[in-house]
A and B are shown apart, each in its own frame.
Chain A
Amino acid sequence: MGLVDATQAALLLLVSGDAELWGTVGVSLSVTLRAMLIAMPLGIAAGYLLATNDFPGRRLLIIVTQGLLASPTVVVGLILYLLLSRQGIFGELQLLFTQTAMVIGQVLIALPVLVAFSLSAIQGADPRARETALALGAGAPRIAWTLLLEVRFALMAAVCSAFGRIVSEIGCALMVGGNIAGVTRNMPTAIALETSKGDFAQGIALGIVLLLVALGINSAFAFFQGESRR
């Protein structure tokens, strides 16, 4: 099948509401959204604590976080695989090759991004916001809320960046998810499989959806970044 035919077939799949195709899209979005729901509060809270508190080992933690930004997802996948495998420490939970395993992997990949971005966002916040809140006699939660609200656009940019990284990630998802049809097959692993089967139409159709999601997220990222610099 030529590229033109395959693309035509792909467009047909997209508009005809192909169950397999949209099922795969559903797995991707459901796993990534769940991962974000867990990673967001954790990552932003950690970023906030690192930005506003001074304690021994703080600098080391910041360096480690920024180092982890570059962590290859396949290495995250490998470590998680070893932990979740039958012989691993958490083997009894039988989580390998489940969506839960994929969610855990994506949380681990998203966390450094969220921590590092929200750390620098909060550090870059106008110090007057904090001082004003303090002067008005606000308690710690109130101060945190004021500060986070002040840098909300930079935080949204962090969220978009993390989302973009994990929704298109394949290494870890393939290793701990196992690419099981209808269960752990998400967009990236499905594209790799369809290409290896020579079934390019499904691959192209999923590629279009993934590209649109990534484009949307990155446009949002650019928008929020622009807003945060105003």
Chain B
Amino acid sequence: MLRLLLAGGILLGSWLPVLAADVLRLATTTSTDNSGLLRAILPQFERQHGVQVQVIAVGSGKALKLAESGDVDVVLVHDRRAEDAFVAAGHGIDRRDLMYNDFVLLGPRSDPAGVRKSSDVFDAFRRIAGSQVRFVSRGDDSGTDRMEKSYWQRLAIPAGGNRWYVSAGLGMGEVLMMAGEMQAYTLSDRATHATYSARTGLEIVFQGDPRMFNPYGLIAVNPRKYPQLNHTGARALIDWLTGPAGRAAISAFRPHGEQLFFVSPGN
């Protein structure tokens, strides 16, 4: 029995990636992973540099926390204020604007709260609150969650605690499925919505307000804080993504014929 286990272990071990130096750990928001972007563009980098990129897809808040405690080598997140604070505190270096997309407000086709008639994003949120139609919030401290909370804050509407306000504590894809099931409204990044729209049946009921702009930043974890991390790999990934090959790959990522991420100008 023991021998069998041993043989199994060796067999399994031989399939696992070889050395730790060849592994690069990237913590990122769920949107880059759920939308399929990373799966589409990273293999090219992995082949060129002989590095295996392990993607840990969590909310932006958690991604930065992972980086802060030295559990990953590099982060790709969307929460500009938190990113700047992260760099200012000495946890990360070399922050670069990578790409952007935008947030869209989704709802059932029937649009019971009349959000399609909104003049701007605040008006849209006010209509939802006024109608008492359910709104599903990420509630997981992610970049999307913080963006949504900032709208309620600007409107001085204490959304949490209301019956119509559903704080899900789930990733973007799961929240979209839930909003579809509940025929509720929700805020999503455009990329994840495009991937899930066929399954959820939700439609964009409001978009295009400049305040729904969603920039993604790339930050390497400070090597002086954690010398044992794979900083060379992090540097290579940042250079590749912001270089011509990475930019071309991001622009070429059009899962349903629709471009979901746009490279930031001037990097």
Q: Could you mark each residue 164-198 of chain A with 1 if its beta carbon is under 8 Å from any beta carbon of chain B, else 0?
A: 00000000000000111111010001100100111
List, in ascending order, chain A residues with CB within 8 A of B182's CB. 97
Chain B interface, number of residues (Cβ within 8 angstroms) = 21
Q: Which of B147-173 contact A (CB under 8 A)?
A: 160-161, 166-170
Whole-angstrom distance between the Cβ of A117 and the nearest chain B Cβ: 28
State the total of A-B contacts with C-beta under 8 angstroms: 46
* Cα separation A168 to B140 with both chains bound (whole Å): 21
List, in ascending order, chain A residues with CB within 8 A of B249's CB. none
Whole-angstrom distance between the Cβ of B3 and the nearest chain A Cβ: 26
Evaluate contact between A180 and B181: CB separation under 8 angstroms. no
Evaluate contact between B59 and A178: CB separation under 8 angstroms. no
Evaluate contact between A180 and B61: CB separation under 8 angstroms. no
Whole-angstrom distance between the Cβ of A58 and the nearest chain B Cβ: 34
Evaluate contact between B181 and A185: CB separation under 8 angstroms. no
Given contacts A96-B181, A97-B182, A197-B141, contact A180 B62 (CB under 8 A): no
Residue B178, interface by CB 8 Å = yes
* Cα separation A193 to B59 with both chains bound (whole Å): 11
Given contacts A86-B181, A96-B181, A178-B178, contact A196 B140 (CB under 8 A): yes
List, in ascending order, chain A residues with CB within 8 A of B178's CB. 97, 178
Instruction: Enumerate chain A interface residues (CB-CB to B < 8 A).
Output: 85-86, 96-97, 178-183, 185, 189-190, 193, 196-199
A-B contact pairs, 6 of them (CB 8 A): A85-B181, A96-B181, A97-B182, A196-B59, A197-B61, A198-B141
Nearest 7 CB-CB pairings of A with B: A198-B65, A181-B167, A193-B169, A179-B169, A197-B141, A198-B62, A180-B166
